[in-house]
Amino acid sequence: MKSRPYRGILSDLDGTINRGNVLIPGAMAVFDDLSKKGIKWVFHSNNAGCAAADLALRLNRMGLAVNENQVVNSASALIAALSREPAGARVMVVGQEKLVQKLEASGVNVVNDSRNVDILVTAIDSGFNYHKLKEAQAALHNGARFWATNLDASYPGEGAFLPGAGSIVAAISTAAGRGPERVLGKPSPDMAHIALELLGLPAESCIVVGDRMESDILFARNSGIAAALVLTGASSRNDLPGFSYAPDYVFSGISEIATLFD
């Protein structure tokens, strides 16, 4: 395969680089080798259960020497979007406590009174329960706007797929009778804008690598970036005919992207 003039990689995490706290075989070697060649990496994730800096630390613990400016997640996109809202906008959060803390640290006015909410934000939440569902429903019935960090129904763990933020969004949507009007994570291009700024590169010089057609590959298409699907996560080769769009490349795993840079 002939090399292409790519200078930056926007790589997904779960299912592409790692499964849970374990790196996918070949991930460390290809990251190290391409980094030595001057190829820039930014890792992207729909996971809003923690800050991008936490994901960078997690990658370091797995052996990838990355810094927090090499990771962007849907929480990053959420914070950027909320920063453009009127000062003092009241935000109710269905999400992990770390996300709440990150939002408050960035100056977001997080509230718990479902009668006075401007925006309801939904994300992965391991403590999601009937009470939270009821309060979210009430906030939406009282006129709050509905934002979601992502619509992924599941995500790959170390041994099985686990319920994702999209499952929580679906429950709230069913209860409230309407879905979110804004989604900050993939496949929306919000994270790509941040990633390209971090890379300091134009879209045409980069490639998105991911394992899920309906999030990663569509994310690339919506962002005007080339796309490579790896078959180590959610989507298989047999899934491809069911989509109206396609990746530019299909690889068995992350290590094979090295062929694009020979």
So which residues are the catalytic ones?
Answer: 12, 14
**Bridge partners (DSSP) listed for residue 208:** 10, 227
DSSP per-residue letters across the chain: -------EEEEE-BTTTEETTEEPTTHHHHHHHHHHTT-EEEEEE---SS-HHHHHHHHHHHT----GGGEEEHHHHHHHHHTTSPTT-EEEEES-HHHHHHHHHTT-EE---TTS-SEEEE---TT--HHHHHHHHHHHHTT-EEEES---SEEE-SSSEEE-HHHHHHHHHHHHT---SEE-STTSTHHHHHHHHHHT--GGGEEEEES-IIIIIHHHHHHT-EEEEESSSS--GGGGGGSSS--SEEESSGGGGGGG--
d(C-alpha 18, C-alpha 220), whole Å: 20
Beta carbons of 191 and 218 less than 8 angstroms apart? no
Tokens of 75: 């929480």
